Structure 1
């Protein structure tokens, strides 16, 4: 039997986000459907669908993407309890579809039975319009929150899946990169070449710098290979392999020193110190590279006392390249300072570069260090350095890197 809602005034305004909600009224009385259509239209809900054929409830829910079901419990054929059981059995467990049941039975047992069967709220006929709209709004808000939360969870899950896939790809790529370094070490793909370091005045060789070359595809500069090794956890192994390869040649080079490049991290290790103890430390210069950043040069200086006690001299490069280079010099008290190639390039035509180089000549004299100019490529650069009093130099103008025999030739 159709029943009209009470006429109590309804000062209710739905949230804007709820106005597009779709409501299904399952009731065997068409007049009741019309009444709810009018009631819901007063607050802006216009997508209201009526259904008298209760067994089709789940079908319509899916077809119309229903957000709320208003369900009459007392219907012939399939009653509201059976409809509730069908809906709750068929819906996605992750979904939240609110069902508000309607009945003329005002008893608490009727309410409890409906809630136990799966209803989310309960209204007694005749329906109070204000109460009905308030309960409908509350259920639609919960539905909206659930939809938004589920969508956000899906986004988060997709993001987590993407991150996991990316991490898996990175892990695989890292294994491939590590395998390359392992192959270089196992197959002895590392060879050493040597560049002469000469006196600027007389052009005599005072030492050499040992430089690594790696014969393996893909073809890359040595510093890229060393950075790669560090990144995959084999930096120490590759650096020590280069050091051993260089020191094997020490007995074949006659007089002079050999400068070897290592990162501060490797220079601190007992493994490196053990390698140096196998040779005459007085003929070794350790040049610190920039594979890893040094946070406190004064602490590093203390840690390097062990190898310096063997007679090993310490060199720092990039002098003149900025504040960081000067900070390293002041913190480490090196025996040798190497002028950065950027300062040498075009020094014969640039008064500012000449002035800075002159200052370094005086500075190294004051601290008892030797100054080496790197990257000499022209006669004009060499002559300028000679006039400024720079004692030692290296670069393509003086000798390209190669095997030790070319130095004697």
Structure 2
């Protein structure tokens, strides 16, 4: 492995680390060469813009975001060959000596290496300088600068790639929010004792090609900071269906707890009648602030909102949700209900949930039910509400309304 690869690996190549790594690179090379200032510049429409500098602080004559004309800089002259990449004493070079900045700073020793991106374009330069001359600098120091500049180029390429991905994702999510590409389907929830459909879960579907699962859309929205907007829109669309369903049918909608903590419930439920609404907490991650989460939900529960914890049995977080939120419903995950008729471990865990529900006055809904044998097993365990392909696949509203009438 080349030294530049090792260096890149050591500072990190992820999109989060990339921005933090350029200052690390600059500080490392500046300290190694015992120079006063190091910076990465970008060439933008005839100007040199300082993007990252070391050391940080007001005493540095080079500040991030500052710029000057390229033709007044060393950087342009290094790129086009009018100045060498290494000068032990800039005042001894006639081209550098003619530039006002050489005397104003002053510039003593100077190293500058072009940053060449993967597409062959020049981004800018990777530079170090000291206020005093330094005759000890040599070709080895320059080669080290080139290695660091190569690593900087790869970090910048990565950051640009991430930025492009972010913009692309943001555009797709905004388009979904502003168009009809997001729609809802409804999966029935069946009560075995009443022998009827008692509710529906509203599930998102996205129409743009190529097809991507709904979870991928919500993950993308979260990545670009639009997660709460997309989930809120899905909830609003889902709740509209209640106008077309009988009054004894409830609607279950999904939300991540982090968006509840962001305060979106007030906006979503501002003018909504809630006695037929079930809010499913869907996040698999552990919540750090259950007291705050419960506080924000409480006013809506007083207005009739019911709370369900989704995917129970799928991970540790769901148990924490159940214990801390005192839900009205616990939804057993498909991984627990599938093959429950033939798997004693699954039956034992479902039985434990059923006993917990009995002790706490909570109802159980088993998701992912696909066979009559699974239903019979669940009923023996005391689970009387089921959801899954055996009962009905997700369907358009017109079909959901028709089911309720039979």
The interval holding the TM-score normalised by the smaller chain is 0.5 to 0.7
For the residues of structure 2 that align with 1:198 and 1:269, how far apart are their CA atoms? 33
Task: Give the match for residue 120 of structure 2.
Answer: none
Matched, 1:305 2:305: no
**What is the Cα deviation at residue 201 of structure 1?**
3.2
SS of the aligned residue for 1:249 comes to helix
For the residues of structure 2 that align with 1:96 and 1:379, how far apart are their CA atoms? 84
Deviations 1:310-350 (A, max 9, x none): 21111112212233221221111111101111111111011
For the residues of structure 2 that align with 1:359 and 1:188, how far apart are their CA atoms? 43
Would the aligned equivalents of 2:190 and 2:391 in 1 still touch at CA under 8 Å?
Answer: yes
Gap runs ≥5 in structure 2: 1-81, 90-134
Matched, 1:222 2:182: no
Given candidates 340, 343, 346, the residue that maps to 1:350 is 343
Task: Give the match for residue 228 of structure 2.
Answer: 236
TM-score normalised by length of structure 2: 0.64
Given candidates 250, 258, 268, the residue that maps to 2:242 is 250
Matched, 1:277 2:278: no
**What is the Cα deviation at residue 274 of structure 1?**
3.0
Pick closer, same or farther for the CA change 1:292–1:241 going to 2, 3 Å.
Answer: farther
Structure of greater Rg: 1
Pick closer, same or farther for the CA change 1:93–1:200 going to 2, 3 Å.
Answer: closer
**What is the Cα deviation at residue 270 of structure 1?**
4.1
Pick closer, same or farther for the CA change 1:93–1:318 going to 2, 3 Å.
Answer: closer
**What is the Cα deviation at residue 169 of structure 1?**
2.1
For the residues of structure 1 that align with 2:83 and 2:277, how far apart are their CA atoms? 78
- Which has the larger displacement, 339-348 or 167-176? 167-176
After TM superposition, list the pairs within 5 Å mapping 1:243-392 onto structure 2: 243-254=235-246, 255-290=248-283, 294-392=287-385
Given candidates 159, 165, 168, the residue that maps to 1:173 is 165
SS of the aligned residue for 1:208 comes to strand
Given candidates 148, 162, 179, the residue that maps to 2:140 is 148
For the residues of structure 1 that align with 2:295 and 2:200, how far apart are their CA atoms? 26
SS of the aligned residue for 1:304 comes to helix
For the residues of structure 2 that align with 1:301 and 1:245, how far apart are their CA atoms? 25
SS of the aligned residue for 2:251 comes to strand
**What is the Cα deviation at residue 307 of structure 1?**
2.2
Task: Give the match for residue 177 of structure 2.
Answer: 185
Would the aligned equivalents of 2:286 and 2:317 in 1 still touch at CA under 8 Å?
Answer: no
For the residues of structure 2 that align with 1:288 and 1:200, how far apart are their CA atoms? 24
SS of the aligned residue for 2:340 comes to coil
Gap runs ≥5 in structure 1: 1-89, 98-141
For the residues of structure 2 that align with 1:293 and 1:219, how far apart are their CA atoms? 30
Pick closer, same or farther for the CA change 1:183–1:322 going to 2, 3 Å.
Answer: closer
SS of the aligned residue for 2:210 comes to coil
Deviations 1:204-260 (A, max 9, x none): 111110001010123100110011111112112211111111111111111221000
Would the aligned equivalents of 2:333 and 2:366 in 1 still touch at CA under 8 Å?
Answer: yes
SS of the aligned residue for 2:146 comes to helix
**What is the Cα deviation at residue 373 of structure 1?**
0.5
For the residues of structure 1 that align with 2:311 and 2:284, how far apart are their CA atoms? 14
Would the aligned equivalents of 2:284 and 2:315 in 1 still touch at CA under 8 Å?
Answer: no
Pick closer, same or farther for the CA change 1:384–1:146 going to 2, 3 Å.
Answer: same
Pick closer, same or farther for the CA change 1:174–1:291 going to 2, 3 Å.
Answer: farther
Would the aligned equivalents of 2:260 and 2:293 in 1 still touch at CA under 8 Å?
Answer: no
Would the aligned equivalents of 1:283 and 1:312 in 2 still touch at CA under 8 Å?
Answer: yes
Pick closer, same or farther for the CA change 1:322–1:167 going to 2, 3 Å.
Answer: closer
Deviations 1:89-146 (A, max 9, x none): x99461559xxxxxxxxxxxxxxxxxxxxxxxxxxxxxxxxxxxxxxxxxxxx85x74
For the residues of structure 2 that align with 1:159 and 1:203, how far apart are their CA atoms? 66
Would the aligned equivalents of 1:273 and 1:306 in 2 still touch at CA under 8 Å?
Answer: no
How many residue pairs match? The answer is: 276
